[in-house]
Every structure is written in structure tokens, then in C-alpha cells.
């Protein structure tokens, strides 16, 4: 009977198998690392694009705020102009009412003419004298 001690060979074979597994694991880690680096680069690119988009949006927002301020200013001016026009119209209406009451209170026929001698207004006595009926009383004449 002969005995051959194969323990060292078995240990070498076992170490060789472990080394192969380690090499495979290392290769997988390298591949995963490369994938992570690629993903990181893509994320960096996305971050830069988002930063650019954010800057553009901020710029657009500032432009819109400026436009809004300008529109608000114009709106305020229009309100002031409208108020002035309302006040002017109220004054015209008041003066017209005054003119109608003055013309209506006169007992003789009164006719108001403009610079071009166009009849602007008349009272009821002038209306009766001309025989025009109730076309218009003491107000602006219509052409």
C-alpha cells in the first residue's frame, strides 16, 4: 500500500478556484464601476441641463415681472385717464343741464348758433315759432 498525500495539491486547486472566483468578482465590480461612472456622467450632464433651464426660467420670470410692472403702471395711468374723462363728462352733463334750464326759463324764442352759424340749440318758444314740433329741445342740434 502506498499513500500519496494530495493535500497540498487540493489546497492549491482550492486556492486556484478561489482566485478565479475573486477574478470574476473583480471583473464584475469593474463592470459595475464603469456603469456607475457612465451613470454619474449622465447625471452630471442632466444637472447641467437643469441648471441652464433654471437660469432661463429665472430670466423669463424676471422679464415677466418687469412686463407685469409696466402693465400695472399703464393700467394705473388708464384708470387715472378714465377718472379724468368721467369727471369731464360729469362737468359737460352739468353744464348742459344748466344750459337747458337757462334756455327753458326764457320766455322769448332763443336760438344758439355756432361759429359756422349752424344751429346748436333752441328753446320751446323758438320751436313754436319755427313750427318744428318737438324735434329737439334746448340741446345740441343734430345735422
DSSP for 107-134 reads: SS--EEE-TT--EEEE-HHHHHHHT--S
The pLDDT of residue 107 is 85
Range of the structural domain that residue 132 is part of: 107-143
Indicate if 51 and 74 belong to the same structural domain.
Answer: yes
Indicate if 115 and 93 belong to the same structural domain.
Answer: no
Q: Is residue 78 part of a domain?
A: yes
The pLDDT of residue 100 is 86
| Residue 35 cell numbers, joined | 456603469
Torsion of Cα atoms, 119 then 120 then 125 then 131, to 10°: 50
Instruction: Using a cut of 0.75, tell me whether the model's pTM lies above it.
Output: no
Indicate if 113 and 126 belong to the same structural domain.
Answer: yes
The pLDDT of residue 133 is 59
Q: What is the pLDDT along the chain (143 residues), one digit of tens a residue?
A: 787 778 888 898 999 999 999 999 999 999 999 999 999 999 999 999 999 999 999 999 999 999 999 999 999 999 999 999 999 999 999 998 998 888 888 888 888 889 999 988 888 888 888 887 554 444 554 44
The pLDDT of residue 129 is 85
Nearest 5°: CA angle at 124, between 97 and 92?
15
Indicate if 84 and 118 belong to the same structural domain.
Answer: no
Indicate if 63 and 25 belong to the same structural domain.
Answer: yes
The pLDDT of residue 135 is 45
Residue found under cell 468578482: 25
- Using alpha carbons, select from 36, 32, 34 the residue that is nearest to residue 44: 36
Amino acid at each position: 500500500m502506498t499513500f500519496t498525500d494530495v493535500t497540498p495539491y487540493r489546497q492549491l486547486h482550492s486556492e486556484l478556484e478561489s482566485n478565479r472566483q475573486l477574478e470574476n468578482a473583480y471583473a464584475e465590480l469593474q463592470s459595475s464601476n464603469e456603469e456607475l461612472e457612465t451613470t454619474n456622467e449622465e447625471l452630471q450632464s442632466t444637472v447641467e441641463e437643469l441648471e441652464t433651464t433654471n437660469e432661463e426660467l429665472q430670466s423669463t420670470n424676471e422679464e415677466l415681472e418687469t412686463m407685469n410692472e409696466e402693465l400695472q403702471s399703464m393700467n394705473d395711468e388708464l384708470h387715472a385717464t378714465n377718472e379724468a374723462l368721467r369727471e369731464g363728462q360729469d362737468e359737460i352733463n352739468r353744464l348742459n343741464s344748466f344750459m337747458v334750464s337757462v334756455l327753458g326759463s326764457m320766455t322769448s324764442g332763443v336760438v344758439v348758433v355756432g361759429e359756422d352759424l349752424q344751429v346748436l340749440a333752441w328753446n320751446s318758444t323758438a320751436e313754436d315759432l319755427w313750427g318744428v314740433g318737438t324735434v329737439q329741445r334746448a340741446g345740441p342740434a343734430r345735422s
